[in-house]
């Protein structure tokens, strides 16, 4: 509730101003209304108004006051929280202090007559009476007369806390006192926490027994850890501190300040490595242990059952023998204690304490049963997530590296160690569920022992050898171990208290609010979770129902629970008859659904329209060009890499836009790309390889060119870019011209003469390949026809070059014909000149980032078919054919059916299987009979003390 006050303070400052927030908080703390202003106050205010101050100073002062008030509210909330945690401790301490004073007064009053006769004993007792100063009536001498009920103590405590907050003074002192009392009330848990942290910080053999003592002895002790446990822990920690101190001296050979990276370096794994702060956590643990021991001593809990038994035996012997001298009684006490072990010699004496401890843990009959399965399952679920997202900290160092699970899933590779850990974690969850359903405390006790030992062996010995990292340097492993320790603590608490007698339903169904309904619907929406839980419950729960009937029963209960939640929500927010729906409710519920549907309809278009802003450029990394004739050996081959592939500049882009400014289609196409998305690919005019055609084929080619054989000249261009789900890695296209056309007859003759070595004149080939290409999501490079139709295709000249008279050492050169020596000058200006290269200008489609590639790979049509249509069908199926289930969904009052389900769970837990069958048959009959369903679910109206069924 106090946290709501802080929220209200912030909201008031946001909605109104900071002064109103501060004043509202002061009023809420004081609980009084502000007094009406007096005339003197009015004069003072007038004088203050005369002495005006700059508005900046006033705003600054108001802001500082708001921060102070917010800080005070946070401190008050911390104080209240600490007091709430330590409340039971303070009540018990107060009650014990009162009882202690009363018992001491009784002893003193019983000794007063003897002190009148003998004044020697009057010297000792009065000092003891003054140890606790409380207001006690002098006539009250019996304990019964001074009995204070728990309600009175709680009421007094509330009044005391209210008085402290009403005074609103000395917050630091109250905060320190609240934190101190909280630590004192939870001193046992503080010791456990520090023992676990000690092992997490050092991860050595010396500190390893500490968590084992916690989970296998301390937390399993009934009703609380004994004095022997605390003495053992204190002695062991003191020995650890002394041992570490002794091995810090420099004369030991391993204290040479050398760096040892091995996790199994002997001094490190033992815990005697020389380093700074070698025992800081041990010292903190000792302080906590001594604090806890002082608290136990103060309230008389620092005594074992053996000490109490010995005191009772001494008292009985004193009653039998009369008044015995104090020295003789002490001697008798020690004699009887020394005689006891002699009678228990042998194996039974050694195993006796273990047997007694085992019986106390597994056969405890006076502890209140509890159910902590839900938090234990939550811990297992968190451990599952830590394994998934932090696998690199648990896998082999040689294979995992720094990669995460997403990398392995993208590569379709699942490491075997990762799979084994996940399966083992899942098996632990199943075993824990089975023990919970069978209420097998002994099995849980054995499972706890085995699991604690196995986990500690794996964490501190096997895992460092696998990952080649020490435990204290592995953050993910430390987080996993800490959460597992919370699980061990909850598991020990479950064993100590025992399983509940009756396990009725899911822990999410304990109440019927909107939060429970949302969480339960989320539980139902997780794939296979409901089926797994139902199957495990059916296997390990005694029942007469078949598996089909069991699943049907679970489905009925889930439906009735959701209906019960809706009925409770309707009661909490009633709607009167004949009143139209509130527009706010309509806009919130219907408006959100409308926005969601509209978003689903337009999502693919919005995604590919607006998300292009976050897409990244994907230019080609490599390109190749091949020119050939027919099926003969290619004439020209070359490759473009590195600097030959470059982005166009803004000036070059502006040249393109200015040339195509009057062509609407071409200009709109160019405007869809930025300069970083347009690339110029330049191929060297010299072929990278000699023309490796053999003489007979060369002669045959020359004859075909000189003759009238049908031949085509082809140009094949290939581009390689980074692969993506939506964009293939390689894009290519093949362009060709028919040499049979009349305009290319001269080309054929010149090529034939060049091959026959009768001419060395270069040949001009017109309209051979397009200059502008688009590298889209297809594997084919697309010609940009909007731009090519204005300038036509590129013209080139080809020439066969020979080195001397060697016919085997010849190659082809090409030159592209352009205006003004640039491929970006498209406007005709005089005669074209050749440049020793061939250029392509590519418009590259962007690729989606890795996080969005799974959506961009579908395309617009794919997204509509796979996403929009499927979601639309699911939505249509949820809002149509509802008339078939009206009689099961529109139930005015489901209390009787819900109670019938709960009764069925109850008789099942009580092993009343005959009643289970009868109740299930009755439940099925109610669903089979519409009349019975209407009768049992009719709404009940209360008129005074009379219940009446509301007529339909």
- DSSP structure string for 357-401: HHHHHHS--SSPP---HHHHHHHHHHHHHHHHHTGGGTS-TTT-T
Q: Report residue 928 as tokens.
A: 């089979």
Q: Assess whether pLDDT exceeds 70 at residue 689.
A: yes
User: Residue 453 has what pLDDT?
Assistant: 93
Burial of 642 from C-beta contacts in 10 A (0-12 / 13-18 / 19+): exposed
Q: Report residue 690 as tokens.
A: 């000699």
User: Residue 349 has what pLDDT?
Assistant: 65
User: Residue 261 has what pLDDT?
Assistant: 72
What is the rounded distance in angstroms from the CA atom of residue 549 to the CA atom of residue 743?
86
Q: Assess whether pLDDT exceeds 70 at residue 666.
A: yes
Collapsing DSSP states into helix, strand and coil, what is residue 413? coil
Q: Assess whether pLDDT exceeds 90 at residue 508.
A: no
Confidence of residue 306 (pLDDT cuts 50, 70, 90): low
User: Residue 309 has what pLDDT?
Assistant: 65
Q: Assess whether pLDDT exceeds 60 at residue 614.
A: yes
User: Residue 496 has what pLDDT?
Assistant: 86
Supply the DSSP string of 313-346, one letter for each residue: HHHHHHHHH-S--HHHHHHHHHHHHHHHHHTT-S
| Residue 98 Cα to chain centre, angstroms | 49
Q: Assess whether pLDDT exceeds 50 at residue 330.
A: no
What are the tens digits of pLDDT across the range 445-482?
A: 999 999 999 999 988 888 888 888 888 888 888 999 99
Q: Report residue 682 as tokens.
A: 């330049």
User: Residue 340 has what pLDDT?
Assistant: 46
How many residues does the structure list for the chain?
A: 952
User: Residue 143 has what pLDDT?
Assistant: 40
DSSP lists the bridge partners of residue 737 as: 713
What are the tens digits of pLDDT across the range 81-104?
A: 888 888 888 887 777 777 778 877
Of 50-59, 505-514, 751-760, 804-813, the range with the lowest mean pLDDT is: 50-59
Q: Assess whether pLDDT exceeds 80 at residue 44.
A: no
Choose among 534, 511, 555, 546: nearest CA to 437.
534
Spatial contact of 593 and 651, defined as CB atoms under 8 Å apart = no
What is the rounded distance in angstroms from the CA atom of residue 842 to the CA atom of residue 855?
25
User: 68 versus 170: which is more confidently predicted?
Assistant: 68
Q: What is the mean pLDDT of residues 2-11?
A: 50
Helices (DSSP H) in 672-755: which residue ranges? 695-706, 745-755
User: Residue 645 has what pLDDT?
Assistant: 93
User: 545 versus 3: which is more confidently predicted?
Assistant: 545
Collapsing DSSP states into helix, strand and coil, what is residue 937? coil
Q: What is the mean pLDDT of residues 373-392?
A: 88
Neighbours of 772 (CB within 10 A): 24
Which residues neighbour 191 within 8 Å (Cβ) at sequence distance 6 or greater? Answer: 233, 285, 288, 289, 292
Q: Assess whether pLDDT exceeds 80 at residue 629.
A: yes
Which residues neighbour 929 within 8 Å (Cβ) at sequence distance 6 or greater? Answer: none
Q: Report residue 559 as tokens.
A: 């439906």
What is the rounded distance in angstroms from the CA atom of residue 739 to the CA atom of residue 794?
16
User: Residue 271 has what pLDDT?
Assistant: 82
Q: Report residue 489 as tokens.
A: 């603590």
Q: What is the mean pLDDT of residues 854-858?
A: 65
End-to-end CA, the chain: 42
User: Residue 563 has what pLDDT?
Assistant: 92
Q: Are strands 782-783 and 772-775 parallel, antiparallel or unpaired?
A: antiparallel
Element (H, E) at 311: helix 305-321
Q: Assess whether pLDDT exceeds 70 at residue 578.
A: yes
Q: Which residue has the tokens 């969005």?
A: 852
Of 34-43, 475-484, 563-572, 618-627, the range with the lowest mean pLDDT is: 34-43
What is the rounded distance in angstroms from the CA atom of residue 713 to the CA atom of residue 812?
14
| b/e burial code for range 83-98 (CB count within 10 A of at least 16 → b) | bebbbebbbebbbeeb
Cα–Cα separations (whole angstroms), residue 758 to 754, 761, 857: 6, 10, 56
Of 51-60, 140-149, 251-260, 359-368, the range with the lowest mean pLDDT is: 140-149
Which residues neighbour 23 within 8 Å (Cβ) at sequence distance 6 or greater? Answer: none
Q: What is the DSSP letter of 814?
A: E
User: Residue 112 has what pLDDT?
Assistant: 61
Confidence of residue 407 (pLDDT cuts 50, 70, 90): low
What percent of the chain lies above the pLDDT cut of 90?
25
Neighbours of 933 (CB within 10 A): 17
User: Residue 485 has what pLDDT?
Assistant: 94
What is the rounded distance in angstroms from the CA atom of residue 869 to the CA atom of residue 856?
17
Q: What is the mean pLDDT of residues 361-383?
A: 81
Q: What is the mean pLDDT of residues 307-316?
A: 63
Q: What is the mean pLDDT of residues 305-321?
A: 63
What is the rounded distance in angstroms from the CA atom of residue 340 to the CA atom of residue 321?
21
Q: Assess whether pLDDT exceeds 80 at residue 130.
A: no
Range with top average pLDDT, 447-451, 575-579, 818-822: 447-451
User: 777 versus 909: which is more confidently predicted?
Assistant: 909
What is the rounded distance in angstroms from the CA atom of residue 801 to the CA atom of residue 517?
84
Confidence of residue 637 (pLDDT cuts 50, 70, 90): very high
What is the rounded distance in angstroms from the CA atom of residue 788 to the CA atom of residue 669?
12
Q: What is the mean pLDDT of residues 29-38?
A: 46
Q: Assess whether pLDDT exceeds 50 at residue 33.
A: no
Of 368-377, 406-415, 564-573, 861-870, the range with the lowest mean pLDDT is: 406-415
Q: Assess whether pLDDT exceeds 80 at residue 361.
A: no
Note if the pTM is more than 0.85.
no
Q: Assess whether pLDDT exceeds 70 at residue 21.
A: no
Q: What is the DSSP letter of 581?
A: P
User: 200 versus 472: which is more confidently predicted?
Assistant: 200
What is the rounded distance in angstroms from the CA atom of residue 450 to the CA atom of residue 455?
8
Confidence of residue 419 (pLDDT cuts 50, 70, 90): confident
What percent of the chain lies above the pLDDT cut of 70?
77
What are the tens digits of pLDDT across the range 772-805?
A: 999 987 889 999 998 998 888 999 999 988 876 6
Neighbours of 376 (CB within 10 A): 22
Q: Report residue 779 as tokens.
A: 């594997």
User: Residue 601 has what pLDDT?
Assistant: 84
Choose among 644, 688, 648, 685: nearest CA to 772.
648
User: Residue 150 has what pLDDT?
Assistant: 56
Reading phi first (left if > 0) and then psi (alpha if -120 to 50, else beta), residue 147 is in beta
What is the chain's mean pLDDT, rounded? 79
Confidence of residue 366 (pLDDT cuts 50, 70, 90): low
Rg (CA), the chain: 44
Q: Report residue 401 as tokens.
A: 């590296």
Q: What is the mean pLDDT of residues 328-354?
A: 54
Collapsing DSSP states into helix, strand and coil, what is residue 167? helix
Q: What is the mean pLDDT of residues 828-847?
A: 86
Q: What is the mean pLDDT of residues 711-717?
A: 93
User: Residue 839 has what pLDDT?
Assistant: 92
What is the rounded distance in angstroms from the CA atom of residue 17 to the CA atom of residue 828?
71
Spatial contact of 815 and 824, defined as CB atoms under 8 Å apart = no
Q: Assess whether pLDDT exceeds 90 at residue 941.
A: no
Q: Assess whether pLDDT exceeds 90 at residue 606.
A: no
Backbone phi, then psi, for 110, in 5-degree steps? -75, -20
Reading phi first (left if > 0) and then psi (alpha if -120 to 50, else beta), residue 70 is in alpha
Q: What is the mean pLDDT of residues 295-318?
A: 70
User: Residue 343 has what pLDDT?
Assistant: 44
Cα dihedral sign for 247, 251, 254, 256?
A: positive
Q: Assess whether pLDDT exceeds 60 at residue 20.
A: no
Q: Report residue 79 as tokens.
A: 């104080």
């Amino acid at each position: 509730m106090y946290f709501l006050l802080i929220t209200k303070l912030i909201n008031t400052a946001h909605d109104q101003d900071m002064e109103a927030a501060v004043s509202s908080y002061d009023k809420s703390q004081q609980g009084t209304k502000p007094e009406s202003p007096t005339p003197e106050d009015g004069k003072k205010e007038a004088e203050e108004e005369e002495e005006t101050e700059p508005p900046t100073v006033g705003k600054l002062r108001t802001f500082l006051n708001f921060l102070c008030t917010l800080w005070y509210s946070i401190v008050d909330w911390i104080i209240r929280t600490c007091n709430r945690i330590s409340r039971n401790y303070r009540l018990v301490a107060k009650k014990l202090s009162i009882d202690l004073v009363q018992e001491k007064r009784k002893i003193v009053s019983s000794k007063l007559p003897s002190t009148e006769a003998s004044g020697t004993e009057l010297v000792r007792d009065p000092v003891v009476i003054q140890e606790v100063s409380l207001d006690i009536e002098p006539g009250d001498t019996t304990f019964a007369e001074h009995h204070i009920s728990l309600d009175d103590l709680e009421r007094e405590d509330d009044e005391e806390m209210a008085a402290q907050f009403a005074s609103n003074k000395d917050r630091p002192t109250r905060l320190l006192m609240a934190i101190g009392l909280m630590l004192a009330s939870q001193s046992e848990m503080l010791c456990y926490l520090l023992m676990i942290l000690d092992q997490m910080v050092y991860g050595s053999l010396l500190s390893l027994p500490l968590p084992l003592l916690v989970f296998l002895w301390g937390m399993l002790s009934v009703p609380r850890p004994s004095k022997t446990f605390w003495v053992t822990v204190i002695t062991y920690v003191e020995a650890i501190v002394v041992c570490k101190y002794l091995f810090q001296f420099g004369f030991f050979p391993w204290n040479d300040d050398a760096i040892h990276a091995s996790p199994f370096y002997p001094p490190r794994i033992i815990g005697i490595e020389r380093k700074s702060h070698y025992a800081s956590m041990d010292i903190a643990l000792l302080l906590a242990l001594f604090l806890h021991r002082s608290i136990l001593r103060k309230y008389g809990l620092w005594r074992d059952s053996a000490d109490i038994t010995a005191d009772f035996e001494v008292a009985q012997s004193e009653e039998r023998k009369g008044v015995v001298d104090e020295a003789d009684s002490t001697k008798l006490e020690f004699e009887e204690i020394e005689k006891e072990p002699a009678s228990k010699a042998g194996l039974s004496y050694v195993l006796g304490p273990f047997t007694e401890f085992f019986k106390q843990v597994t056969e405890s009959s006076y502890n209140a049963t509890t159910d902590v399965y839900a938090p234990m399952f939550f811990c297992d679920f968190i451990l599952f997530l830590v394994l998934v997202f932090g696998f690199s900290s648990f896998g082999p160092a040689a294979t995992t590296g720094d990669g995460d699970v997403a990398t392995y899933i993208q590569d379709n590779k699942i490491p075997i160690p990762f799979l084994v850990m996940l399966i083992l974690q899942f098996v632990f969850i199943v075993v824990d569920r089975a023990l919970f359903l069978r209420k097998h405390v002994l099995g849980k006790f054995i499972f706890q022992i085995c699991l604690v030992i196995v986990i500690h062996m794996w964490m501190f010995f096997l895992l460092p050898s696998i990952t080649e990292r020490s435990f204290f340097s592995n953050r993910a492993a430390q987080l996993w171990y800490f959460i597992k320790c919370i699980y061990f603590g909850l598991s020990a608490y479950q064993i100590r208290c025992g399983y509940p007698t009756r396990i009725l339903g899911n822990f999410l169904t304990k109440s019927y609010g909107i939060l429970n309904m949302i969480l339960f619907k989320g539980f139902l929406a997780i794939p296979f979770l409901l089926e797994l839980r139902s199957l495990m419950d059916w296997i390990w729960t005694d029942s007469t129902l078949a598996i089909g009937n069991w699943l049907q029963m679970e489905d009925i209960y889930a439906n009735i629970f959701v209906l019960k939640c809706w009925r409770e929500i309707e009661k909490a927010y009633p709607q009167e008859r004949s009143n139209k729906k509130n527009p706010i409710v309509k806009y919130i519920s219907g408006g959100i659904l409308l926005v969601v549907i509209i978003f689903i309809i337009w999502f693919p278009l919005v995604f590919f329209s607006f998300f292009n802003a976050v897409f990244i450029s994907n230019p080609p990394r490599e390109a190749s060009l091949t020119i050939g004739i027919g099926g003969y050996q290619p004439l020209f081959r070359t490759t473009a890499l590195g600097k030959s592939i470059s982005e166009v500049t803004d000036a070059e882009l502006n040249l393109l836009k200015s040339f195509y400014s009057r062509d609407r289609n071409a200009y709109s196409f160019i405007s869809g790309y930025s300069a970083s998305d347009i690339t110029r690919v330049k191929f060297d005019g010299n072929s990278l390889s000699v023309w490796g055609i053999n003489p007979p084929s060369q002669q045959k080619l020359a004859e075909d060119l000189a003759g009238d054989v049908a031949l085509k000249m082809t140009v094949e261009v290939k581009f390689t870019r980074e692969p993506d789900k939506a964009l293939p890695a390689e894009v290519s296209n093949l362009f060709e011209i028919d040499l049979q056309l009349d305009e290319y007859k001269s080309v054929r003759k010149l090529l034939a003469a060049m091959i026959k070595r009768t001419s060395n004149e270069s040949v001009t080939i017109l309209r051979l390949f397009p200059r502008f290409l688009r590298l889209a999501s297809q594997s084919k490079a697309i010609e940009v026809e909007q731009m090519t139709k204005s300038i036509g295709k590129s013209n080139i000249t080809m020439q066969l070059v020979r080195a001397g008279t060697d016919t085997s050492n010849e190659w082809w050169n090409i030159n592209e014909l352009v205006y003004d020596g640039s491929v970006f000058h498209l406007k005709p200006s005089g005669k074209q000149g050749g440049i020793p290269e061939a250029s392509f200008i590519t418009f590259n489609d962007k690729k989606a980032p890795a996080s969005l590639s799974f959506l961009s790979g579908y395309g617009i049509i794919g997204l509509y078919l796979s996403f929009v249509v499927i979601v639309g069908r699911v939505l249509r199926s949820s809002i149509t054919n509802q008339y078939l289930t009206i009689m099961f969904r529109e139930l005015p009052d489901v209390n009787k059916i819900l109670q019938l389900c709960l009764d069925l769970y109850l008789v099942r837990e009580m092993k009343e299987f005959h009643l289970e069958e009868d109740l299930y048959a009755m439940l099925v009959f109610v669903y089979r009979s519409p009349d019975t369903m209407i009768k049992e679910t009719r709404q009940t109206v209360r008129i005074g003390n009379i219940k009446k069924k509301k007529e339909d």
